[in-house]
Amino acid sequence: MQVKKKNMMLLLAVILTFVMVLSGCGNSADNKQNNNGSEAQGGSQKEEERSDEQVTIKYYNWDNEATADSTRALLDEFEQENPNIKVEHVVLVPGNSVEMLKKLDFLISSGEAIDVISVPSLGAVVERAARGALEPLNAFYEKDGLVPEDEYLVNPKIDDQYYGMQFTTGYQLVLLNKDALDEAGLPVPTYGWTWDDYREYAKKLTKGEGVDKRYGSYFHTWELYMNPPAQTVMRDPFRYEDGTTNYSDPTFKYFFQLRKDMETIDKSAKTYADVLAAKLNYRTEFFNEEAAMILTGSWMIPDPGNQEQYPHDFVTAFAPVPLPPANAQPKDYEGGKYFVGGGHLTMGATSKHKDASFKLMRFLTTVESDHRTEFSGWKKADPNPILDRLTGDNKEMYDLDSLKNTLFGDDIAYLDASKVLTTFGSQLGKIQADGFSKFMLGDESVDEIQKWMVEEATKVIEENTK
């Protein structure tokens, strides 16, 4: 009996231990479940804390002293709307976009984390995107349910990847001395006038002789004035959409000859040689009434009202850029749609705060603030407040109706971005400049010059696209 009793007690002890182990396992499972619940809840809180966490991003541009104040005011507005994002404004090279890009490229090559960059042109965007320096924006657009083509006038793309968000828009237009037009009995030109019409206007607006002569037109030394159709009604100023050089285009032969004829036959424009030798200032030529018309950009809109810097007593009218006539329209001509330039905001591929960077990009490109000083690239923006600020207090110096019709008339439409990626535009631009100079300053025929330009440009394109 004692043995049995002893065995029974041993059995009870084993059973009790087993029950305690099961109980412990149950408690462990319950505890694990509770801990998991706490961890999940804590993880959610931690995630929420991360979204509330303060981050600092950098915004790079080339502001000068005047524009830096406006930029800082815009960034302050953004920070008020997004209290968890601070923005450091980094001016790489004040007032010089070319040098700014050089410094930016150095920072990129050194591996610095780059958040948001203001880039001055479409070409500068695609060049850096092609090198892998920029972050594609597709995923961010999709997350917010945005279609870039519905948002911005121009959308830089490589292989269906978006890399730039249009920040500013720069328009080409013609400034005209309205008093001179009235004197000559000429109406303010409207959309659809051609370069043949421009030549006739220049003849009729030319007046006087010698030092008192007022020329009908002034052409500066930039690429814009060597063949405006290539710069204003073609998607890419150097290449067709099939990638070949557009220097074979009829617009080059047409406009080179037009320029020379206006100088040598009509004598309605100062010679290219004189412009180069005297290093003339295009603003001075127009506001000092040395010339009655000038092809330029929307950056000159504030100037007629700036009496302190450009004193004059005539009203300035505006006209859209003339279109090529029927016998000189470019290949793949899109019915008079204009190329539109402007700056873009981009995101560095090395950014550690990409969501915050995208928020800043969308804010800066879409905000309609009193601190904006340039036309927006956002299709839904109201341009009138900007136009009102640009024309300032001396609105009597403007033919405002012609300005509004030039920029925003019903007939005005703009080209999409080119599908051609030209990262060697400076090489092609030099060929054009050399060819133009050889023609304007020498005796070679326009056909010989065009043939040389095509051959040289083809070599460059082949070398860079192997």
Q: Would you kindly state where each structural domain of the chain is located, as residue ranges? A: 55-169+340-381, 172-339+402-464
Q: What percent of the chain has pLDDT over 90?
A: 81
Residue type, 92: L
- Are 176 and 293 spatial neighbours (Cβ–Cβ below 8 Å)? yes
**Residue 403 reports pLDDT greater than 90:** yes
Asked, colleague to colleague, whether 55-169+340-381 and 172-339+402-464 share their fold, the answer is: yes
pLDDT in tens, 11-32: 334 433 433 333 444 443 333 3
**Residue 35 reports pLDDT greater than 80:** no
| pLDDT on residue 381 | 95
Between 195 and 25, the more confident residue is 195
pLDDT in tens, 130-173: 899 999 999 999 999 999 999 999 999 888 999 999 999 999 99
pLDDT level of residue 308 (50, 70, 90 thresholds): very high
| Mean pLDDT of the 97-101 span | 93
Beta carbons within 8 Å of 158's beta carbon, 6+ residues apart: 126, 129, 130, 421
| pLDDT on residue 344 | 97
Q: What is the mean pLDDT of the chain?
A: 89
- The DSSP secondary structure of 230-292, one letter per residue, reads HHHSSSSSSB-TTSSBSTTSHHHHHHHHHHHHHHHTS--B--HHHHHHHT--HHHHHHTTSBS
| pLDDT on residue 423 | 79
Best CATH choice for the domain 172-339+402-464 from the list 3.30.300.30, 3.30.429.10, 3.40.190.10, 3.55.40.20: 3.40.190.10
CA distances from residue 424 to 152, 218, 415, 465 in whole angstroms, order as listed: 25, 29, 22, 10
0.75 exceeded by pTM: yes
| pLDDT on residue 50 | 54
pLDDT level of residue 5 (50, 70, 90 thresholds): very low
Question: Can you list the positions of beta strands (E) in 95-197?
Answer: 116-119, 157-158, 161-162, 165-166, 172-177
**Residue 197 reports pLDDT greater than 60:** yes
Q: What percent of the chain has pLDDT over 70?
A: 89
DSSP 3-state of 117: strand
pLDDT in tens, 405-451: 999 999 999 998 888 878 788 899 999 999 999 999 999 999 999 99
Q: Does domain 55-169+340-381 have CATH number 3.40.190.10?
A: yes
- Are 228 and 321 spatial neighbours (Cβ–Cβ below 8 Å)? yes
